Structure 1
Amino acid sequence: MPADTLAAMPKIRHEVPLELLRHKPELVAALLADTDIELPVDATATVTDSNLSTCEPPEFRADAVTLLHGTDGGKLAVITESQSDPPKPSKRRAWPAYVSVAQSQHDCDAVLVVIASSRATARACRRTIHTGHPGFDLAPIVIGPHNTPDPTNPAFAAIAPELTVLAAVTRALDLHEDATRRMVLDQLATLDPETRTTYTRFVQQAASHAVKKALEELMASPAYRDEFIDGFIDKGRAEGRAEGEVTGEAKMLIRILNARGFVVTDNLRARIQSCSNTKQLETWADRAMSADTIESVFDH
């Protein structure tokens, strides 16, 4: 596997759970289903500002914050952190502050959920964080390969595609099994074309070379060709891309920029859509995953 692809993998694994949450905030309720956390009654979910800073430094910016609102007036703030590697000590020390500040900002209880993309990272994230104050220790709720919610559970039918992608990223699914690969494609086939294209590329990036090849062969089969030829396999390459056609890579780059909160101007959109260099588009997309400014994505 090329070195640049390997370098991009942690960024992609970090960003995928957050993109799933932005698309389906209800996902956080499923992640808390097997905990003792009391959720608001018949809760609806909304994504809120993830900046947990106060008016004074230091700055605390979580990966994602979702509010669950219950029909009974109950409310719960769910802080979600995505970890593709074990957290640094400074990150662990910040997590109790995230919970305390979110509780204060939203005037409700707050919990921390960490999504880990490997068993080693999950073990590191589960360690209790001792603050030094008696009785004030934080044990993060960790979702990883061992306990990612089952996407085939009927209780999670409304978010099954998102759980399917999440399970692929956390390696909770064995994609070496043909039946599992078919289950993944069946779930993704229910989505609108744009979302299906994005999600299948997430699965592609998380898969090994052997699994990726097996998935592509399955998508090219008669059972799945109609749904996936435009996304995972890229019909433009198979049949000859028309001049000026917006590629799948360009669409994904714009989607990532929007999800990160960057403003995509008309001039920048035209620059992206007119780029016919697939490798350049993929490089920009990799930078967009973690860039602090939109200028740093393109000014290299």
Structure 2
Amino acid sequence: MVSSRHEAMHRIFQDYPGLFSGVSEVLGVAIPPPTSVTLMPTDLTEARPVERRVDTLLRIETEDQGPFLLAIEAQGKKDPDKTVSWPYYVTYLNNKYRLPSLLLVVCQDHATAEWAARPISIGLRQWQTLALYPLVAGPHNMPVITEVAEARKDLALASLAAITHADNPDVGAILKTLSATLRDVPETIADPIVELIAQGLGNRPAAQQWRNLVAVDLSFYKSALSEEIRDEGRDEGRAEGRAEGLLLILDVRGIAVTDETRQKITSCDDPQLLHQWLNRAATATTAEEIFAEE
């Protein structure tokens, strides 16, 4: 199953097709800015029972270079099978479209990035028939952006950089810079970036830092992540209110409440379960009867 962070690492190029210009500059490859970009079909399957799909495929037009194809792969770990599939992608694209092709691999850890950057050679030791040199973007070469002015220059590049630096010890400062930058950005631009970064961080500790920043700095946005955070806040508020109401009922009815029982009630964050306890408290004669069915 494809993870959300896997999707974010290549989907960002679909949402911001001009992003490759910034990435190529960072990687030290002189590629002219595109004059147009076309999202291409990602299905590279042949008419035989072997299915191969590249993560994202773009046709990029440039004024000086002419058109070329950019195949983008999000790679979360070392995969020996890629030494077979990646050359296949490039040769297939060359055969089908008769256009120059580049392979860009996006990684989130140094070991995978180092592995992905190794040339893939096809042929004999004495004669190299085909060699593939992937471009690799990862924590080893993507910029660490901690200045709002720098992030504002290219939001898409800053977002991808944040995703690739998900395990960076300074990721908190990177994400804080992005959240501060997005405060002054229209919702239509900020919302997709908020979601892409959330997906790209996956289940790493940095993901919770991003959620906290979105909740505090970007609470006015209507993105799916913002709505999810607000829903969690409403659920938490309902749970706290019902816990207080349950303790009040027990006190009014003169039912003794031990420290253990009080802790059980106040630590419960399930509004529905607290509602059930409230109903039982109306007729229970002891606190134990409230939890009898659990």
Query: What TM-score does the superposition give when structure 2 sets the normalisation length?
Result: 0.64
The structure-2 alpha-carbon separation of the partners of 1:141 and 1:218, relative to structure 1 and needing over 3 Å to count, comes to closer
- Partner amino acid for 1:137? A
Q: In the alignment, is the contact (CA less than 8 A) between 1:219 and 1:228 conserved in 2?
A: no
Q: In the alignment, is the contact (CA less than 8 A) between 1:175 and 1:181 conserved in 2?
A: no
- Aligned equivalent of 1:125: 116
CA deviations 1:45-91 (Å, max 9, x no partner) are 2211112234456443211111111235711111111110112x222
- Aligned equivalent of 1:198: 195
Q: After the TM superposition, which of the residue ranges 94-103 and 149-158 deviates more from structure 2?
A: 149-158
Of structures 1 and 2, the larger Rg is shown by 2
Shift of 1:23: 1.2
SS at match of 2:175: helix
- Aligned equivalent of 1:247: none
- Aligned equivalent of 2:6: 14
1:90-169 map, 5 Å: 90-132=81-123, 134-135=127-128, 136-149=130-143, 159-160=154-155, 162-169=156-163
Instruction: Mark the runs of 5 or more structure 1 residues left unpaired by the alignment.
Output: 1-7, 242-300
In structure 2, distance between residues paired with 1:46 and 1:150: 29
- Aligned equivalent of 2:178: 184
Q: Percent identity?
A: 21
* Residue 29 (str. 1) matches residue 26 (str. 2): no
Shift of 1:105: 2.1
Shift of 1:146: 0.8
The structure-2 alpha-carbon separation of the partners of 1:183 and 1:48, relative to structure 1 and needing over 3 Å to count, comes to same
Q: In the alignment, is the contact (CA less than 8 A) between 1:13 and 1:117 conserved in 2?
A: no
CA deviations 1:260-286 (Å, max 9, x no partner) are xxxxxxxxxxxxxxxxxxxxxxxxxxx
The structure-2 alpha-carbon separation of the partners of 1:214 and 1:170, relative to structure 1 and needing over 3 Å to count, comes to closer
- Aligned equivalent of 1:66: 58
Q: In the alignment, is the contact (CA less than 8 A) between 1:39 and 1:76 conserved in 2?
A: no
Q: In the alignment, is the contact (CA less than 8 A) between 2:6 and 2:200 conserved in 1?
A: no
Instruction: Mark the runs of 5 or more structure 2 residues left unpaired by the alignment.
Output: 237-294
In structure 1, distance between residues paired with 2:28 and 2:197: 33
Q: 1:45 aligns with which of 30, 37, 43?
A: 37
In structure 2, distance between residues paired with 1:203 and 1:54: 31
In structure 1, distance between residues paired with 2:49 and 2:32: 32
Shift of 1:230: 7.1
In structure 2, distance between residues paired with 1:41 and 1:195: 23
In structure 1, distance between residues paired with 2:176 and 2:84: 42
Q: After the TM superposition, which of the residue ranges 41-50 and 106-115 deviates more from structure 2?
A: 41-50
CA deviations 1:206-241 (Å, max 9, x no partner) are 541xx44544444444x5443489734622332469
In structure 2, distance between residues paired with 1:238 and 1:82: 33
Q: In the alignment, is the contact (CA less than 8 A) between 1:51 and 1:60 conserved in 2?
A: yes
1:138-287 map, 5 Å: 138-149=132-143, 159-160=154-155, 162-171=156-165, 174=168, 176=170, 179-189=173-183, 190=185, 191-192=187-188, 194-202=191-199, 205=202, 207-208=204-205, 211-221=206-216, 224-227=218-221, 231-232=225-226, 234-239=229-234
Q: In the alignment, is the contact (CA less than 8 A) between 1:24 and 1:159 conserved in 2?
A: no
The structure-2 alpha-carbon separation of the partners of 1:155 and 1:98, relative to structure 1 and needing over 3 Å to count, comes to farther
Question: Alignment RMSD, CA only?
Answer: 3.5
- Aligned equivalent of 1:275: none
In structure 1, distance between residues paired with 2:6 and 2:200: 13
SS at match of 1:69: strand
The structure-2 alpha-carbon separation of the partners of 1:72 and 1:156, relative to structure 1 and needing over 3 Å to count, comes to farther
How many correspondences in the alignment? Answer: 228
Q: In the alignment, is the contact (CA less than 8 A) between 1:64 and 1:81 conserved in 2?
A: yes
Query: What TM-score does the superposition give when structure 1 sets the normalisation length?
Result: 0.63
